[in-house]
Amino acid sequence: MKRAKRNHSTLDLTTDEIISVRDVTVQFGSKKVLDGLNLDIHRGEILGFIGPSGAGKSVLMRTILGLNKKVSGHIKILGQDIDEISDNEKVEIDMRMGVLFQHGALFSALNVLENIQVPMREYLDLSPKLMDELARLKISLVGLEADTAEKYPSELSGGMIKRAALARALALDPHIVFLDEPTSGLDPIGAADFDLLIEDLRDTMGLTVYMVTHDLDSLYAVCDRIAVLGHKKVMVEGTIEDMLKFDDPWVQSYFRGKRARQIVPHKRHPEPEIKETAE
């Protein structure tokens, strides 16, 4: 079991800058995926992270989580440079970050209750009764019926799997959650409900949310800020209005393309349409 000695913490739990990525380069063999990338994630925001397929969105997320090595640059989480922290601080940082991987990634041999308890068993020393109570609280927090606790992943719908995986990501009451395409595979109503759940959790728990997404509806519905990955860097960040003004073929195609026109309110498109470009 990994346990942090919380009384020696040097993390800045009140900082506004939850994550700061500076000049980060990531390379696999001779292939550079990220090159001098900068990004800040602020407390309490829902950041939508977008970019063309294969641009490196998951690589950046995995690098922040410490699952990929970077060639150079610095990443600070809660004020601490992740290359300069002790093992104890590393455990503490891991506990502050919840992750929802793209396909839910629940353990198929464990029921929902047991899945949610995996991080609790790994990081906390709690009685089985308390773990059961906490896991059931998380199940209710993400809007699942109480009897979902005893169900196995194969018995759940896609939307329920996402919610159960979110409950597991929230098991340790993290400061930030990373969501990798949370609405992919959900029908439009399920996706909209999931967006609302994320917003609700941010408002009630003060969560910071880093959401990798392709879903324009999510960007409009819940994201406070958008960052676009392109040319191995964050090429633009800001509001939807900032995106609409940004002169890049992919960004323009994404925000003003056919799909965008179906969901974007007319008043958000004061300028004339521009010709679409291939993604």
Ligand X SMILES: Nc1ncnc2c1ncn2[C@@H]1O[C@H](COP(=O)(O)OP(=O)(O)OP(=O)(O)O)[C@@H](O)[C@H]1O
By the 10 Å C-beta count (0-12 exposed, 13-18 middle, 19+ buried), 53 is classed as exposed
Query: Please, what is the Cα angle at 238 between 237 and 242, to 5 degrees?
Result: 105
Which residues in this chain contact ligand X in the complex, by CB under 6 A? 28, 33, 51, 53-59
Nearer of residues 34 and 172 to ligand X, judged by Cβ: 34
- CB of residue 211 vs ligand X: minimum separation in angstroms? 13
DSSP, residue by residue, 182-193 = TTTTS-HHHHHH
- CB of residue 218 vs ligand X: minimum separation in angstroms? 14
- CB of residue 26 vs ligand X: minimum separation in angstroms? 8
Phi, psi (degrees; rounded to nearest 5) at 97: -120, 125
Nearer of residues 37 and 97 to ligand X, judged by Cβ: 37
- Contact by Cβ (8 Å): 80, 89: yes
d(CA 172, CA 124): 9
Compute CA distances 196 → 164, 201, 213, 217, whole Å.
16, 9, 15, 11
- CB of residue 23 vs ligand X: minimum separation in angstroms? 18
Token pair listed for 275: 């010709």
Q: Are strands 80-81 and 31-42 parallel, antiparallel or unpaired?
A: unpaired
- CB of residue 61 vs ligand X: minimum separation in angstroms? 8
Nearer of residues 114 and 180 to ligand X, judged by Cβ: 180
- CB of residue 200 vs ligand X: minimum separation in angstroms? 26
Q: Are strands 80-81 and 97-100 parallel, antiparallel or unpaired?
A: unpaired
- CB of residue 96 vs ligand X: minimum separation in angstroms? 23
- Contact by Cβ (8 Å): 100, 171: no
- Other CB atoms within 10 Å distance of the CB of residue 277: 13
